[in-house]
Amino acid sequence: MASDVETRRFPFVDAAGLNALSLLGSAIYIYSFETQSVCWANPKGLMVWNARSEEELYARSLTPFSQATNLRLEDYRQAFARGEDRLDTWTLYPLGEARPVLCRCSGVSIKGHGQAMLVECSLESAVGITAAEVRSIEALRHTPLKISLLSRSGEVLMRNPAATALFAEFDHSLPPGADHFSSMFANPADCDALVAAAESGKVGRLQAPLRLPGSPIHALNLSVATDPISGKPAWLVAHDDISLLVQTLRQLAASEDALDAILNLDLTPTVILAASDGKVLNVNVSARKALDQALAIGSPANSLFVDHGDFERLRSSVLSGQASAAPVQFRGANGEPFWASLSAARISYDKQDSIAILLADVDAMYRIAADLEAALSMERAITDAQRRFLAIASHEFRTPLAVIDSAAQRIERLIGKADEENIRSRVGNIRRAVAGLLQLMDNTLEQAREDKRVLGYAPRVTDLSGLIADVVDSFRESHPDLRIDVDLPPLPLLELDPGLIEQVISNLLSNSAKYAAQQKRALIKVSVTTDEVQLLIRDWGIGVPAEERESIFSEYGRASNVGERPGTGLGLAIVKQVIALHGGTIDAVDIDGPGLAIRIALPRSLSESPAPVAART
């Protein structure tokens, strides 16, 4: 029976409210915790569940749920009882079809259902998430292993359903701002030892009692991670309850008479070794299956360990009277190594000094932890790529927009004063700038759809002379105070990406205007050799110190003498990337006098015969 407090946290939605919800354009349905079925849905909600009618959906059985799903639903129900909402992804299975959705969930009640969940879902939640990532998320949710991501200060950033169920009461018992990580250890020294191991660059592994009811003993795996949302350092913790294993070990150490009986029960893989020479004295069926089915009494046990040193350290530790519990890699029955949590104790067996070793297979836990670390690393890389992508896109959109704005202002001033041909010329400049902007936008969208981290590259046979002339015309329109001289010999047709090469020339001319000194002047000089076409773009501005010429082509690299002139440091980095896509080279060359000269060499290997086009200046 739900308490009065819980009932008050599930506000009642009457018939008028349901009618209003049915008119909304988003998909909405109500799930009953009591009947474990959908008890109401609007038309879009029926579509989400592939239901032909309300009656068919309401009669549909959604059970049986997995244990992880039951834990997750119970966590939601308790959250609603506290007045909280939830925003998370779920994978629904309408008529067997897997459908990932983003769900905004809150507690409600309707007639006949005192505790229910109102779900507003969006089918666009999985945009940008690969199938492998969706499966990884589902595996994380359904594994019985307890996995959590916590900040270095102990704030809970994420728990999977198994961890949420384990720590539900514990988390709510702590005051705001408490360290949930260190507080979970019954012995603070265990926390310190685990952190020290993780901070040494390795994965911290430890068996320790937790400050939970019954003081369960857990095998813990701690690794250094980064929160993919904030970018701050975090702890990735994976663990499982091995209390039964430890209890069994204690029983083994306490009573030799019970040893054979426990071995015959075959609850836990167990191996008994002679303390003197490390030879196998006994092994139960579970251990034979996990290790080597041909394992013989009297065979050396060190061959079972991937690292023979692990066996010697184990033996030395037990014989010196120390407790021995550690994760170790063993050789499996198929020859493949696997991780097991090992507990060992010194006992008397068959009237001789012996060592009992109990194993718990934790290989899946370590593999999932490794997958999570890899997923977090990928998430950080994707976030960095997105930030870089947005910075480059914003930088490249500025030039065509400046051309459009300048030409439009001139047309406005010429209305009623200039002839039709003059206006037509400026309209042509606007249309060329718009065409370039649209091409840049298409390129940008293509990169976003395909998750590319480099610029798109679509070469075609191009008249380089005409391309340079068009860029210069547009630039003279937007920067009338910059004198641009052009020296073009007859040029061959080249196979290149015209949009990207326009960006290159525009970026370099923009720098000429931005960093001009008293003499606002730029020169474009083109020469042709047997193997390549060379472009020299020079200005008479402030120049770049000789020792900094290489660094200006790196991302966010700016010369030390730019002063207060605005800039992102991305322009020349983009130029270098574009030229590299074309198989060319770019460098800053020595010149007489002030300014900076950039030399670009494009290969002629894909060029056509010389174009019969007169050079334009």
Tens digit of each residue's pLDDT (9 = 90 or more) over 154-172: 999 999 999 999 999 999 9
Domains of the chain: 4-127 (3.30.450.20), 137-241 (3.30.450.20), 245-361 (3.30.450.20), 380-603 (3.30.565.10)
Question: Angle, nearest 10°, between helix axes 464-478 and 363-414?
Answer: 70
Q: Which pLDDT value is given to residue 568? A: 54
Split at pLDDT 50, 70, 90, the class of 609 is very low
64 DSSP assignment = P
**How far, in Å, CA of 55 to CA of 60, rounded?**
9
> Mean pLDDT across the stretch 454-463?
78
pLDDT value at 98 more than 90 = no
The confidence score (pLDDT) of residue 410 equals: 67
Classify 578 as helix, strand or coil.
helix
Tell me the pTM: 0.47
pLDDT, position 585: 94
pLDDT at 162: 92
What are the tokens at 119?
A: 């779900």
Residue 447, amino acid = Q
Q: Which of 257-271, 444-458, 469-483, 589-603 has the highest mean pLDDT?
A: 589-603
E strand segments, 399-478: 460-462
pLDDT at residue 617 in the model: 39
- Residue 48 — very low, low, confident or very high, per pLDDT cuts 50/70/90? very high
**pLDDT score recorded for residue 296:** 76
Band the pLDDT of 153: cuts 50, 70, 90: very high
What does the pLDDT look like over 131-152, one tens digit per residue?
A: 777 788 888 888 889 999 999 9
Burial class of residue 273 (count of CB atoms within 10 Å of its CB; 0-12, 13-18, 19+): buried
Q: Flag whether pLDDT at 278 surpasses 50.
A: yes
| Amino acid 227: pLDDT | 87
Query: Tens of pLDDT along 478-508?
Result: 788 889 999 999 999 999 998 889 888 988 8
The larger pLDDT score, comparing residue 380 to residue 283, is at: 283
Whether the pLDDT of residue 254 is over 70: the answer is no
Contact between residue 159 and residue 68 where contact means Cβ atoms under 8 Å apart: no
- For residues 534-556, average pLDDT: 83
pLDDT above 60: residue 455: no
Range scoring the smallest mean pLDDT among 9-13, 206-210, 487-491, 572-576? 572-576
pLDDT band at 557 (very low <50, low <70, confident <90, very high): low
pLDDT band at 211 (very low <50, low <70, confident <90, very high): very high
**Listed ranges 6-20, 39-53, 327-341; the one with the highest mean pLDDT:** 39-53
Average pLDDT over residues 518-522: 84
Which residue would you say has higher pLDDT here, 48 or 474?
Answer: 48
Q: 99 Cβ partners below 8 Å, 6+ apart?
A: 48, 91, 92, 93, 123
Q: Are 311 and 278 in contact (CB under 8 A)?
A: yes
Distance CA 322, CA 316 (A): 9
Count the neighbouring beta carbons within 10 Å of the beta carbon of residue 361: 16
Pairwise pLDDT comparison (252 vs 310), residue with the higher score: 310
The mean predicted confidence, pLDDT, of the chain is: 81
Higher local confidence (pLDDT), 557 or 354 = 354
Spatial distance between the Cα atoms of 532 and 545, rounded to a whole number of angstroms: 28
- How does residue 298 score in pLDDT terms, banded at 50, 70 and 90? confident
Q: What is the pLDDT of residue 476?
A: 84
Res. 93: pLDDT tops 70: yes
User: Is 569 a residue whose pLDDT tops 70?
Assistant: no
Q: What is the average pLDDT across 101-127?
A: 87
